[in-house]
Structure 1
Amino acid sequence: MNAPKLHHYVPQFHLRRFADKNGQLWIWDKRTDRVFKAAPCGIAAETHFYRLTQYEPGGHDPLALEKQLSEMEAEAAIITGQWLDWLPDMASLDTVPISRINRWIVARCLAVQFLRTLDTREILAALIEIECGSPLTPHEAREYHTELIWNPRLIELLARHFRRSIWIFARNDSTTSFVTSDNPMAFRTADNRQWLRVNFLSHGTYLVFPMSPRVILYSYPKKDNPRELGRFANRVSPVVFTDEMAQSENSGQVFMASRFLISKQHQFDAERIFAKTIGTDTYAPPAEK
Protein backbone atom coordinates (compact mmCIF):
# COMPACT_ATOMS: atom_id res chain seq x y z
CA MET A 1 0.00 0.00 0.00
CA ASN A 2 1.30 3.45 -0.90
CA ALA A 3 1.97 5.76 2.01
CA PRO A 4 -0.46 8.72 2.21
CA LYS A 5 1.13 11.86 0.79
CA LEU A 6 -1.61 14.49 0.98
CA HIS A 7 -2.20 15.27 4.66
CA HIS A 8 -5.33 17.18 5.66
CA TYR A 9 -5.09 19.83 8.34
CA VAL A 10 -8.90 19.95 8.43
CA PRO A 11 -10.37 16.42 8.61
CA GLN A 12 -12.17 15.17 5.54
CA PHE A 13 -15.15 14.04 7.64
CA HIS A 14 -15.66 17.67 8.67
CA LEU A 15 -15.32 18.94 5.12
CA ARG A 16 -17.76 16.35 3.74
CA ARG A 17 -20.48 17.75 5.98
CA PHE A 18 -20.31 20.99 4.00
CA ALA A 19 -20.51 19.35 0.57
CA ASP A 20 -23.42 19.91 -1.81
CA LYS A 21 -25.69 17.16 -3.11
CA ASN A 22 -23.00 16.19 -5.63
CA GLY A 23 -20.37 15.77 -2.93
CA GLN A 24 -18.53 18.94 -3.94
CA LEU A 25 -17.45 21.94 -1.88
CA TRP A 26 -17.77 25.54 -2.94
CA ILE A 27 -14.51 27.33 -2.11
CA TRP A 28 -13.88 31.06 -1.90
CA ASP A 29 -10.21 32.01 -1.99
CA LYS A 30 -10.21 35.23 0.02
CA ARG A 31 -6.72 36.17 -1.20
CA THR A 32 -7.60 36.12 -4.89
CA ASP A 33 -11.40 36.54 -4.64
CA ARG A 34 -11.83 33.41 -6.75
CA VAL A 35 -14.64 30.88 -6.30
CA PHE A 36 -14.21 27.28 -7.42
CA LYS A 37 -15.44 23.77 -6.64
CA ALA A 38 -13.36 21.01 -5.08
CA ALA A 39 -13.77 17.57 -3.57
CA PRO A 40 -13.24 17.25 0.20
CA CYS A 41 -10.13 15.17 -0.48
CA GLY A 42 -8.42 18.04 -2.28
CA ILE A 43 -8.75 21.06 0.00
CA ALA A 44 -7.14 22.14 3.32
CA ALA A 45 -4.29 19.71 2.73
CA GLU A 46 -0.62 19.72 1.76
CA THR A 47 1.84 17.05 0.68
CA HIS A 48 3.58 15.39 3.64
CA PHE A 49 2.29 18.13 5.96
CA TYR A 50 2.77 15.96 9.07
CA ARG A 51 5.76 13.91 7.96
CA LEU A 52 8.15 13.42 10.88
CA THR A 53 11.36 14.00 8.98
CA GLN A 54 13.24 14.61 12.24
CA TYR A 55 12.75 10.95 13.22
CA GLU A 56 13.34 9.27 9.85
CA PRO A 57 17.15 8.94 10.23
CA GLY A 58 16.56 6.84 13.36
CA GLY A 59 14.34 4.41 11.50
CA HIS A 60 11.07 5.59 13.03
CA ASP A 61 7.85 5.71 11.03
CA PRO A 62 7.67 9.23 9.53
CA LEU A 63 3.90 8.85 9.12
CA ALA A 64 3.20 8.04 12.77
CA LEU A 65 1.59 11.42 13.45
CA GLU A 66 -0.61 11.28 10.34
CA LYS A 67 -1.77 7.78 11.33
CA GLN A 68 -2.58 8.89 14.88
CA LEU A 69 -4.57 11.83 13.56
CA SER A 70 -6.54 9.51 11.28
CA GLU A 71 -7.41 7.24 14.20
CA MET A 72 -8.55 10.21 16.29
CA GLU A 73 -10.65 11.56 13.42
CA ALA A 74 -12.39 8.22 12.95
CA GLU A 75 -13.58 8.25 16.57
CA ALA A 76 -14.64 11.90 16.48
CA ALA A 77 -16.50 11.43 13.18
CA ILE A 78 -18.68 8.68 14.67
CA ILE A 79 -19.46 10.59 17.86
CA THR A 80 -20.24 13.95 16.28
CA GLY A 81 -22.11 12.19 13.47
CA GLN A 82 -24.48 10.77 16.08
CA TRP A 83 -25.05 14.24 17.52
CA LEU A 84 -25.85 15.63 14.08
CA ASP A 85 -28.28 12.78 13.47
CA TRP A 86 -30.09 13.46 16.75
CA LEU A 87 -30.24 17.26 16.71
CA PRO A 88 -32.83 17.82 13.94
CA ASP A 89 -35.45 15.87 15.91
CA MET A 90 -34.68 17.40 19.29
CA ALA A 91 -36.65 20.22 20.89
CA SER A 92 -35.17 23.42 22.27
CA LEU A 93 -33.41 22.83 25.61
CA ASP A 94 -33.32 19.06 25.08
CA THR A 95 -30.09 17.54 26.37
CA VAL A 96 -27.66 15.94 23.94
CA PRO A 97 -26.45 12.72 25.62
CA ILE A 98 -22.67 12.92 25.87
CA SER A 99 -20.75 10.25 27.77
CA ARG A 100 -17.58 11.19 29.63
CA ILE A 101 -15.36 9.31 27.20
CA ASN A 102 -17.06 10.84 24.16
CA ARG A 103 -16.70 14.29 25.65
CA TRP A 104 -13.00 13.66 26.17
CA ILE A 105 -12.51 12.35 22.63
CA VAL A 106 -14.19 15.38 21.07
CA ALA A 107 -12.40 17.82 23.42
CA ARG A 108 -9.08 16.28 22.40
CA CYS A 109 -10.05 16.54 18.73
CA LEU A 110 -10.84 20.25 19.20
CA ALA A 111 -7.50 20.80 20.92
CA VAL A 112 -5.61 19.09 18.11
CA GLN A 113 -7.63 20.90 15.45
CA PHE A 114 -6.52 24.22 16.89
CA LEU A 115 -2.86 23.18 16.72
CA ARG A 116 -2.76 21.25 13.45
CA THR A 117 -3.58 23.91 10.85
CA LEU A 118 -1.44 25.81 8.39
CA ASP A 119 -2.35 28.98 10.27
CA THR A 120 -0.77 27.66 13.46
CA ARG A 121 2.34 26.59 11.55
CA GLU A 122 2.73 30.06 10.06
CA ILE A 123 2.23 31.80 13.42
CA LEU A 124 4.71 29.45 15.11
CA ALA A 125 7.28 30.01 12.36
CA ALA A 126 6.88 33.78 12.65
CA LEU A 127 7.42 33.65 16.42
CA ILE A 128 10.54 31.49 16.07
CA GLU A 129 11.82 33.82 13.35
CA ILE A 130 11.52 36.75 15.76
CA GLU A 131 13.43 34.78 18.39
CA CYS A 132 16.15 33.51 16.04
CA GLY A 133 16.44 36.53 13.77
CA SER A 134 16.17 34.53 10.55
CA PRO A 135 13.31 32.88 8.64
CA LEU A 136 12.70 29.15 8.86
CA THR A 137 12.84 26.85 5.87
CA PRO A 138 9.63 24.88 5.12
CA HIS A 139 11.45 21.79 6.40
CA GLU A 140 12.27 23.49 9.71
CA ALA A 141 8.75 24.92 10.05
CA ARG A 142 7.27 21.43 9.62
CA GLU A 143 9.53 19.95 12.27
CA TYR A 144 8.77 22.65 14.84
CA HIS A 145 5.05 22.34 14.10
CA THR A 146 4.87 18.55 14.33
CA GLU A 147 6.71 18.68 17.65
CA LEU A 148 4.08 21.13 18.89
CA ILE A 149 1.21 18.84 17.86
CA TRP A 150 2.96 15.85 19.42
CA ASN A 151 3.35 17.56 22.79
CA PRO A 152 1.10 15.52 25.13
CA ARG A 153 1.15 18.09 27.93
CA LEU A 154 -0.04 20.83 25.60
CA ILE A 155 -2.77 18.63 24.12
CA GLU A 156 -3.89 17.68 27.64
CA LEU A 157 -4.01 21.34 28.70
CA LEU A 158 -6.10 22.43 25.72
CA ALA A 159 -8.34 19.37 25.80
CA ARG A 160 -9.04 19.93 29.50
CA HIS A 161 -10.01 23.54 28.71
CA PHE A 162 -12.60 22.42 26.16
CA ARG A 163 -13.78 19.42 28.16
CA ARG A 164 -14.56 21.57 31.20
CA SER A 165 -16.34 24.24 29.18
CA ILE A 166 -20.09 24.62 28.72
CA TRP A 167 -21.13 23.14 25.37
CA ILE A 168 -24.26 24.48 23.71
CA PHE A 169 -25.58 23.30 20.35
CA ALA A 170 -27.37 25.83 18.14
CA ARG A 171 -29.46 24.96 15.09
CA ASN A 172 -29.73 27.22 12.10
CA ASP A 173 -32.97 27.14 10.12
CA SER A 174 -32.36 30.43 8.34
CA THR A 175 -31.73 30.69 4.61
CA THR A 176 -28.04 31.39 5.31
CA SER A 177 -25.99 28.23 5.86
CA PHE A 178 -23.00 28.12 8.15
CA VAL A 179 -19.65 27.98 6.38
CA THR A 180 -16.37 26.50 7.51
CA SER A 181 -12.77 27.20 6.51
CA ASP A 182 -9.21 25.92 6.40
CA ASN A 183 -8.90 27.14 10.01
CA PRO A 184 -12.34 26.42 11.52
CA MET A 185 -11.72 27.02 15.23
CA ALA A 186 -13.09 30.56 15.73
CA PHE A 187 -12.82 32.39 19.05
CA ARG A 188 -14.97 35.35 20.07
CA THR A 189 -14.59 37.74 22.97
CA ALA A 190 -17.16 37.74 25.74
CA ASP A 191 -18.73 40.98 24.49
CA ASN A 192 -19.14 39.42 20.98
CA ARG A 193 -17.30 42.37 19.40
CA GLN A 194 -14.07 40.75 18.32
CA TRP A 195 -12.68 37.55 16.83
CA LEU A 196 -9.28 36.39 18.11
CA ARG A 197 -6.55 34.39 16.38
CA VAL A 198 -4.36 34.17 19.46
CA ASN A 199 -4.90 34.70 23.18
CA PHE A 200 -8.07 32.61 22.99
CA LEU A 201 -7.65 31.68 26.66
CA SER A 202 -8.31 35.28 27.68
CA HIS A 203 -11.17 35.89 30.10
CA GLY A 204 -14.59 35.09 28.68
CA THR A 205 -13.43 34.22 25.17
CA TYR A 206 -15.45 31.33 23.76
CA LEU A 207 -15.25 28.88 20.87
CA VAL A 208 -17.60 29.06 17.88
CA PHE A 209 -17.23 25.89 15.82
CA PRO A 210 -19.47 25.09 12.82
CA MET A 211 -20.25 21.37 12.86
CA SER A 212 -22.36 21.44 9.71
CA PRO A 213 -24.22 24.00 7.58
CA ARG A 214 -27.08 23.77 10.10
CA VAL A 215 -25.40 23.21 13.49
CA ILE A 216 -22.84 25.20 15.41
CA LEU A 217 -21.14 24.34 18.70
CA TYR A 218 -20.44 26.97 21.33
CA SER A 219 -17.91 26.19 24.04
CA TYR A 220 -17.91 28.67 26.94
CA PRO A 221 -15.24 28.46 29.66
CA LYS A 222 -17.18 27.58 32.79
CA LYS A 223 -14.96 29.60 35.10
CA ASP A 224 -15.57 32.81 33.13
CA ASN A 225 -19.33 32.61 32.73
CA PRO A 226 -22.27 33.10 35.09
CA ARG A 227 -23.98 30.11 36.62
CA GLU A 228 -27.10 30.88 34.59
CA LEU A 229 -25.32 29.76 31.45
CA GLY A 230 -24.66 26.37 33.02
CA ARG A 231 -28.32 25.40 32.73
CA PHE A 232 -27.82 25.28 28.94
CA ALA A 233 -24.89 22.84 29.16
CA ASN A 234 -25.11 20.05 26.55
CA ARG A 235 -28.49 21.37 25.46
CA VAL A 236 -30.08 22.58 22.26
CA SER A 237 -30.08 26.37 22.24
CA PRO A 238 -33.54 27.99 22.26
CA VAL A 239 -32.24 30.84 20.08
CA VAL A 240 -33.89 31.07 16.66
CA PHE A 241 -31.27 32.02 14.09
CA THR A 242 -31.84 34.78 11.57
CA ASP A 243 -29.82 35.29 8.40
CA GLU A 244 -27.98 38.15 10.10
CA MET A 245 -27.03 35.94 13.05
CA ALA A 246 -25.75 33.19 10.76
CA GLN A 247 -23.74 35.74 8.77
CA SER A 248 -22.27 37.04 12.02
CA GLU A 249 -21.02 33.59 12.96
CA ASN A 250 -19.72 33.07 9.42
CA SER A 251 -17.65 36.23 9.80
CA GLY A 252 -15.55 34.31 12.31
CA GLN A 253 -14.59 31.85 9.59
CA VAL A 254 -13.66 34.73 7.29
CA PHE A 255 -11.43 36.16 10.00
CA MET A 256 -9.82 32.84 10.95
CA ALA A 257 -9.29 31.40 7.46
CA SER A 258 -5.74 31.26 6.20
CA ARG A 259 -7.10 31.37 2.70
CA PHE A 260 -10.18 29.26 1.96
CA LEU A 261 -13.83 29.66 2.97
CA ILE A 262 -15.82 26.47 2.43
CA SER A 263 -19.56 26.22 1.82
CA LYS A 264 -22.24 23.94 0.40
CA GLN A 265 -23.47 26.73 -1.85
CA HIS A 266 -22.05 29.36 -4.20
CA GLN A 267 -22.87 32.35 -2.03
CA PHE A 268 -20.12 34.44 -0.44
CA ASP A 269 -21.48 37.99 -0.69
CA ALA A 270 -21.66 38.62 3.06
CA GLU A 271 -18.23 37.05 3.56
CA ARG A 272 -16.71 39.33 0.92
CA ILE A 273 -18.18 42.39 2.61
CA PHE A 274 -16.86 41.38 6.03
CA ALA A 275 -13.40 40.55 4.66
CA LYS A 276 -12.98 44.17 3.56
CA THR A 277 -13.49 45.35 7.14
CA ILE A 278 -10.74 43.18 8.67
CA GLY A 279 -7.99 45.46 9.95
CA THR A 280 -10.26 48.50 10.00
CA ASP A 281 -12.23 50.09 12.82
CA THR A 282 -15.61 49.37 11.20
CA TYR A 283 -16.77 47.28 14.14
CA ALA A 284 -14.75 48.98 16.83
CA PRO A 285 -16.68 49.86 20.03
CA PRO A 286 -17.79 53.50 20.24
CA ALA A 287 -15.38 55.87 21.95
CA GLU A 288 -16.20 56.85 25.49
CA LYS A 289 -17.42 60.40 25.98
Structure 2
Amino acid sequence: MTEPKLHHYVPQFHLRRFADEQGRLWAWDKQADRIFRTSPGGIAAEKQFYRLTQYEADGHDPLTMEKQLSEMEGEVSLITDQWLEWLLQMEPLDKVPIPRINRWIIARYLAVQMLRTLDTRELLSAMVELDRGTPVDEREARELHTELIWDTGLVERFAKRFRRSVWIFARNDSATPFVTSDNPVAFRSPDNRQWLRSLALVPGSYLVFAMSSRVVLYCHPRIGPFRKLGKFADCLSPVVLDDGMVESENSGQVFMASRFVLSNRADFDAERAFAPTIGSDIYAPPST
Protein backbone atom coordinates (compact mmCIF):
# COMPACT_ATOMS: atom_id res chain seq x y z
CA MET A 1 0.00 0.00 0.00
CA THR A 2 1.38 3.41 -0.98
CA GLU A 3 2.10 5.75 1.93
CA PRO A 4 0.19 9.07 1.88
CA LYS A 5 2.99 11.57 1.22
CA LEU A 6 0.91 14.75 0.89
CA HIS A 7 -0.69 15.48 4.25
CA HIS A 8 -3.57 17.97 4.29
CA TYR A 9 -3.81 20.32 7.25
CA VAL A 10 -7.30 21.28 6.04
CA PRO A 11 -9.33 18.16 5.15
CA GLN A 12 -10.25 17.60 1.53
CA PHE A 13 -13.91 16.96 2.44
CA HIS A 14 -14.05 20.48 3.87
CA LEU A 15 -12.38 22.03 0.83
CA ARG A 16 -14.76 20.26 -1.56
CA ARG A 17 -17.65 22.12 0.05
CA PHE A 18 -16.24 25.37 -1.32
CA ALA A 19 -15.50 24.08 -4.83
CA ASP A 20 -17.27 25.18 -8.02
CA GLU A 21 -19.50 23.01 -10.21
CA GLN A 22 -16.42 21.40 -11.77
CA GLY A 23 -15.08 20.45 -8.35
CA ARG A 24 -12.29 23.03 -8.55
CA LEU A 25 -11.30 25.80 -6.15
CA TRP A 26 -10.28 29.35 -6.80
CA ALA A 27 -7.39 30.37 -4.55
CA TRP A 28 -6.16 33.84 -3.69
CA ASP A 29 -2.58 33.90 -2.46
CA LYS A 30 -2.70 36.91 -0.15
CA GLN A 31 1.10 37.09 0.11
CA ALA A 32 1.72 37.27 -3.64
CA ASP A 33 -1.70 38.79 -4.48
CA ARG A 34 -2.23 36.09 -7.10
CA ILE A 35 -5.41 34.21 -8.06
CA PHE A 36 -5.24 30.72 -9.48
CA ARG A 37 -7.38 27.60 -9.88
CA THR A 38 -6.60 24.40 -8.02
CA SER A 39 -8.18 21.22 -6.67
CA PRO A 40 -9.06 20.20 -3.09
CA GLY A 41 -6.28 17.64 -3.32
CA GLY A 42 -3.60 20.17 -4.19
CA ILE A 43 -3.93 22.94 -1.62
CA ALA A 44 -3.52 23.37 2.18
CA ALA A 45 -1.12 20.41 2.26
CA GLU A 46 2.58 19.64 2.55
CA LYS A 47 4.64 16.49 2.10
CA GLN A 48 4.98 14.44 5.31
CA PHE A 49 3.51 17.29 7.34
CA TYR A 50 2.48 14.98 10.22
CA ARG A 51 5.30 12.43 9.97
CA LEU A 52 6.33 11.43 13.50
CA THR A 53 10.09 11.54 12.99
CA GLN A 54 10.65 11.58 16.75
CA TYR A 55 9.31 8.02 17.07
CA GLU A 56 10.40 6.56 13.75
CA ALA A 57 13.85 5.42 14.90
CA ASP A 58 12.22 3.27 17.61
CA GLY A 59 10.20 1.34 15.03
CA HIS A 60 6.86 3.10 15.53
CA ASP A 61 4.66 3.86 12.53
CA PRO A 62 5.55 7.45 11.57
CA LEU A 63 2.18 7.88 9.85
CA THR A 64 0.07 7.17 12.94
CA MET A 65 -1.07 10.78 13.31
CA GLU A 66 -1.99 11.12 9.63
CA LYS A 67 -4.05 7.92 9.89
CA GLN A 68 -5.78 9.12 13.08
CA LEU A 69 -6.65 12.43 11.45
CA SER A 70 -8.03 10.62 8.40
CA GLU A 71 -10.24 8.44 10.60
CA MET A 72 -11.57 11.49 12.45
CA GLU A 73 -12.26 13.29 9.18
CA GLY A 74 -14.34 10.35 7.95
CA GLU A 75 -16.60 10.56 11.02
CA VAL A 76 -16.94 14.32 10.82
CA SER A 77 -17.68 14.27 7.10
CA LEU A 78 -20.59 11.85 7.59
CA ILE A 79 -22.09 13.82 10.47
CA THR A 80 -21.80 17.25 8.88
CA ASP A 81 -22.95 16.05 5.44
CA GLN A 82 -26.26 15.21 7.12
CA TRP A 83 -26.38 18.57 8.89
CA LEU A 84 -25.78 20.48 5.68
CA GLU A 85 -28.50 18.54 3.90
CA TRP A 86 -30.97 19.41 6.66
CA LEU A 87 -29.87 23.05 7.01
CA LEU A 88 -30.40 23.82 3.32
CA GLN A 89 -34.03 22.76 3.69
CA MET A 90 -34.86 24.04 7.19
CA GLU A 91 -36.94 27.02 8.20
CA PRO A 92 -35.46 29.63 10.57
CA LEU A 93 -35.50 28.45 14.22
CA ASP A 94 -35.75 24.78 13.20
CA LYS A 95 -33.41 22.74 15.35
CA VAL A 96 -30.65 20.39 14.18
CA PRO A 97 -30.82 17.14 16.19
CA ILE A 98 -27.34 16.63 17.64
CA PRO A 99 -26.75 13.52 19.80
CA ARG A 100 -24.22 14.00 22.60
CA ILE A 101 -21.64 11.77 20.91
CA ASN A 102 -21.87 13.78 17.69
CA ARG A 103 -21.47 17.04 19.57
CA TRP A 104 -18.33 15.65 21.19
CA ILE A 105 -16.93 14.45 17.85
CA ILE A 106 -17.46 17.84 16.18
CA ALA A 107 -16.12 19.79 19.19
CA ARG A 108 -12.99 17.65 19.17
CA TYR A 109 -12.65 18.14 15.41
CA LEU A 110 -12.83 21.94 15.80
CA ALA A 111 -10.19 21.80 18.54
CA VAL A 112 -7.86 19.65 16.44
CA GLN A 113 -8.45 21.72 13.30
CA MET A 114 -7.39 24.93 15.03
CA LEU A 115 -4.17 23.21 16.20
CA ARG A 116 -3.19 21.22 13.11
CA THR A 117 -2.54 23.98 10.57
CA LEU A 118 0.64 25.49 9.18
CA ASP A 119 -0.28 28.73 10.94
CA THR A 120 -0.11 27.02 14.35
CA ARG A 121 3.21 25.39 13.47
CA GLU A 122 4.70 28.73 12.49
CA LEU A 123 3.30 30.47 15.58
CA LEU A 124 4.60 27.72 17.88
CA SER A 125 8.05 27.84 16.29
CA ALA A 126 8.17 31.62 16.63
CA MET A 127 7.29 31.36 20.33
CA VAL A 128 10.06 28.79 20.94
CA GLU A 129 12.59 30.88 19.02
CA LEU A 130 11.66 34.00 20.98
CA ASP A 131 11.92 32.14 24.28
CA ARG A 132 15.34 30.54 23.74
CA GLY A 133 16.88 32.94 21.22
CA THR A 134 17.86 30.32 18.62
CA PRO A 135 16.06 29.28 15.42
CA VAL A 136 13.86 26.18 14.99
CA ASP A 137 14.62 24.00 11.96
CA GLU A 138 12.02 22.17 9.88
CA ARG A 139 12.34 18.84 11.68
CA GLU A 140 12.11 20.37 15.14
CA ALA A 141 9.13 22.46 14.05
CA ARG A 142 7.35 19.30 12.90
CA GLU A 143 8.12 17.48 16.13
CA LEU A 144 7.04 20.39 18.33
CA HIS A 145 3.82 20.72 16.36
CA THR A 146 2.87 17.04 16.32
CA GLU A 147 3.46 16.82 20.08
CA LEU A 148 1.12 19.79 20.52
CA ILE A 149 -1.61 18.14 18.45
CA TRP A 150 -1.15 14.94 20.47
CA ASP A 151 -1.54 16.80 23.77
CA THR A 152 -4.87 15.21 24.73
CA GLY A 153 -5.28 17.49 27.73
CA LEU A 154 -5.00 20.60 25.57
CA VAL A 155 -7.32 19.23 22.88
CA GLU A 156 -9.89 18.24 25.51
CA ARG A 157 -9.83 21.70 27.12
CA PHE A 158 -10.58 23.34 23.80
CA ALA A 159 -13.14 20.69 22.86
CA LYS A 160 -14.86 21.05 26.23
CA ARG A 161 -15.31 24.77 25.73
CA PHE A 162 -16.69 24.30 22.22
CA ARG A 163 -18.95 21.44 23.31
CA ARG A 164 -20.49 23.59 26.05
CA SER A 165 -21.00 26.59 23.77
CA VAL A 166 -24.27 27.68 22.20
CA TRP A 167 -24.17 26.37 18.64
CA ILE A 168 -26.10 28.43 16.11
CA PHE A 169 -26.16 27.80 12.36
CA ALA A 170 -26.76 30.47 9.72
CA ARG A 171 -27.62 29.89 6.08
CA ASN A 172 -26.26 32.06 3.32
CA ASP A 173 -28.84 32.70 0.60
CA SER A 174 -27.09 35.84 -0.65
CA ALA A 175 -25.21 36.16 -3.94
CA THR A 176 -21.87 36.13 -2.08
CA PRO A 177 -20.50 32.71 -1.07
CA PHE A 178 -18.70 32.00 2.16
CA VAL A 179 -15.00 31.44 1.60
CA THR A 180 -12.58 29.25 3.54
CA SER A 181 -8.81 29.28 3.96
CA ASP A 182 -5.75 27.27 4.94
CA ASN A 183 -6.58 28.13 8.58
CA PRO A 184 -10.38 27.94 8.66
CA VAL A 185 -11.37 28.06 12.36
CA ALA A 186 -11.79 31.76 13.17
CA PHE A 187 -12.42 33.58 16.44
CA ARG A 188 -14.10 36.92 17.03
CA SER A 189 -13.94 39.16 20.07
CA PRO A 190 -17.02 39.36 22.33
CA ASP A 191 -17.85 42.86 21.01
CA ASN A 192 -17.57 41.66 17.37
CA ARG A 193 -14.92 44.30 16.64
CA GLN A 194 -11.84 42.12 16.11
CA TRP A 195 -10.73 38.81 14.69
CA LEU A 196 -8.34 37.02 17.03
CA ARG A 197 -5.39 34.68 16.50
CA SER A 198 -3.80 32.96 19.49
CA LEU A 199 -2.92 29.53 20.90
CA ALA A 200 -4.94 30.57 23.97
CA LEU A 201 -8.65 31.30 23.69
CA VAL A 202 -9.53 34.85 24.66
CA PRO A 203 -12.26 34.87 27.36
CA GLY A 204 -15.65 35.62 25.81
CA SER A 205 -14.48 35.19 22.22
CA TYR A 206 -16.60 33.04 19.96
CA LEU A 207 -15.83 30.60 17.17
CA VAL A 208 -16.89 31.20 13.56
CA PHE A 209 -16.57 28.24 11.19
CA ALA A 210 -17.89 28.28 7.63
CA MET A 211 -18.97 24.68 7.02
CA SER A 212 -19.64 25.24 3.33
CA SER A 213 -20.13 28.12 0.90
CA ARG A 214 -23.70 28.39 2.22
CA VAL A 215 -23.62 27.49 5.93
CA VAL A 216 -21.70 28.89 8.90
CA LEU A 217 -21.52 27.61 12.47
CA TYR A 218 -21.15 29.95 15.47
CA CYS A 219 -20.08 28.64 18.89
CA HIS A 220 -20.84 31.25 21.55
CA PRO A 221 -19.66 30.79 25.16
CA ARG A 222 -22.50 30.75 27.66
CA ILE A 223 -21.27 33.87 29.44
CA GLY A 224 -21.99 37.61 29.42
CA PRO A 225 -24.16 38.90 26.59
CA PHE A 226 -24.23 35.48 24.91
CA ARG A 227 -26.31 33.87 27.70
CA LYS A 228 -29.50 35.08 26.03
CA LEU A 229 -28.63 33.09 22.90
CA GLY A 230 -29.37 29.82 24.69
CA LYS A 231 -32.89 29.77 23.28
CA PHE A 232 -31.38 29.50 19.78
CA ALA A 233 -29.10 26.57 20.63
CA ASP A 234 -28.66 24.13 17.70
CA CYS A 235 -31.11 26.17 15.60
CA LEU A 236 -30.97 27.72 12.17
CA SER A 237 -30.62 31.44 12.86
CA PRO A 238 -33.59 33.70 12.11
CA VAL A 239 -31.13 36.33 10.84
CA VAL A 240 -31.16 36.68 7.06
CA LEU A 241 -27.57 37.11 5.90
CA ASP A 242 -27.00 39.74 3.23
CA ASP A 243 -23.90 40.23 1.08
CA GLY A 244 -22.32 42.63 3.55
CA MET A 245 -22.74 40.23 6.46
CA VAL A 246 -21.22 37.38 4.45
CA GLU A 247 -18.28 39.59 3.45
CA SER A 248 -17.79 40.44 7.12
CA GLU A 249 -17.52 36.73 8.00
CA ASN A 250 -15.23 36.17 5.01
CA SER A 251 -12.89 38.82 6.35
CA GLY A 252 -12.17 36.41 9.20
CA GLN A 253 -10.74 33.93 6.71
CA VAL A 254 -8.51 36.65 5.25
CA PHE A 255 -7.28 37.44 8.76
CA MET A 256 -6.72 33.80 9.75
CA ALA A 257 -5.16 32.54 6.50
CA SER A 258 -1.47 31.77 6.49
CA ARG A 259 -1.49 32.32 2.77
CA PHE A 260 -4.50 31.00 0.82
CA VAL A 261 -8.14 32.10 0.80
CA LEU A 262 -10.36 29.67 -1.13
CA SER A 263 -13.68 30.10 -2.92
CA ASN A 264 -15.96 28.68 -5.59
CA ARG A 265 -15.47 31.83 -7.67
CA ALA A 266 -12.57 33.97 -8.83
CA ASP A 267 -13.84 37.23 -7.34
CA PHE A 268 -11.75 38.22 -4.29
CA ASP A 269 -12.27 41.99 -4.50
CA ALA A 270 -13.73 42.25 -0.99
CA GLU A 271 -11.00 40.07 0.48
CA ARG A 272 -8.30 42.09 -1.25
CA ALA A 273 -9.82 45.31 0.07
CA PHE A 274 -9.88 43.99 3.63
CA ALA A 275 -6.34 42.55 3.75
CA PRO A 276 -4.46 45.91 3.99
CA THR A 277 -6.67 46.96 6.92
CA ILE A 278 -5.62 44.06 9.18
CA GLY A 279 -4.32 45.61 12.38
CA SER A 280 -6.65 48.60 12.14
CA ASP A 281 -10.29 49.10 13.13
CA ILE A 282 -11.47 50.44 9.77
CA TYR A 283 -14.03 47.65 9.29
CA ALA A 284 -14.91 47.18 12.95
CA PRO A 285 -18.59 47.72 13.79
CA PRO A 286 -19.49 50.44 16.29
CA SER A 287 -18.62 49.59 19.89
CA THR A 288 -21.55 48.40 22.00
2:48 aligned residue: 48
C-alpha displacement at 1:195, in angstroms? 0.3
Say which SS state the counterpart of residue 183 (structure 1) adopts.
coil
Say which SS state the counterpart of residue 216 (structure 2) adopts.
strand
2:136 aligned residue: 136
Number of positions where the alignment pairs a residue of Structure 1 with one of Structure 2: 287
1:8 aligned residue: 8
C-alpha displacement at 1:283, in angstroms? 4.0
Give the root-mean-square deviation of aligned CA atoms.
Answer: 1.4
Tell me the distance in 1 between the aligned counterparts of 2:154 and 2:94: 33
1:39 aligned residue: 39
1:155 aligned residue: 155
1:127 aligned residue: 127
Tell me the distance in 2 between the aligned counterparts of 1:92 and 1:271: 28
Tell me the distance in 2 between the aligned counterparts of 1:112 and 1:180: 17
Q: Deviations over 1:6-53 (max 9, x none)?
A: 000000000000110101000000001110011100100000000000
Tell me the distance in 2 between the aligned counterparts of 1:115 and 1:263: 22
CA contact (8 A) 2:120 2:199 kept: no
CA pair 200-131 structure 1, distance change in 2 beyond 3 A: closer
Amino acid at match of 1:35: I
C-alpha displacement at 1:286, in angstroms? 7.9
Amino acid at match of 1:254: V
CA pair 281-106 structure 1, distance change in 2 beyond 3 A: closer
C-alpha displacement at 1:163, in angstroms? 0.4
CA contact (8 A) 1:93 1:237 kept: yes
Say which SS state the counterpart of residue 153 (structure 1) adopts.
helix
The yes-or-no answer on 1:145 pairing with 2:145 is: yes
C-alpha displacement at 1:200, in angstroms? 5.6
CA contact (8 A) 2:220 2:226 kept: no
Tell me the distance in 1 between the aligned counterparts of 2:18 and 2:282: 30
Tell me the distance in 2 between the aligned counterparts of 1:259 and 1:18: 17
C-alpha displacement at 1:248, in angstroms? 0.3
Q: How do 1:1-289 and structure 2 match up within 5 A? A: 1-198=1-198, 201-283=201-283
Q: Deviations over 1:198-249 (max 9, x none)?
A: 1662232101100000000000011344432100000000000110000000
Residue segments in structure 1 that go unaligned for 5+ positions in a row: none
C-alpha displacement at 1:161, in angstroms? 0.8
CA contact (8 A) 1:200 1:206 kept: no
The percent of aligned pairs where both chains have the same amino acid is 66
Amino acid at match of 1:117: T
Tell me the distance in 2 between the aligned counterparts of 1:21 and 1:91: 26
C-alpha displacement at 1:89, in angstroms? 1.2
CA pair 159-198 structure 1, distance change in 2 beyond 3 A: same
Say which SS state the counterpart of residue 212 (structure 1) adopts.
coil
Tell me the distance in 2 between the aligned counterparts of 1:165 and 1:241: 22
Say which SS state the counterpart of residue 267 (structure 2) adopts.
coil
Amino acid at match of 2:103: R
Q: Deviations over 1:235-287 (max 9, x none)?
A: 00000011000000000000000000000011100000000111334246889
Say which SS state the counterpart of residue 18 (structure 2) adopts.
coil
Tell me the distance in 2 between the aligned counterparts of 1:245 and 1:227: 22
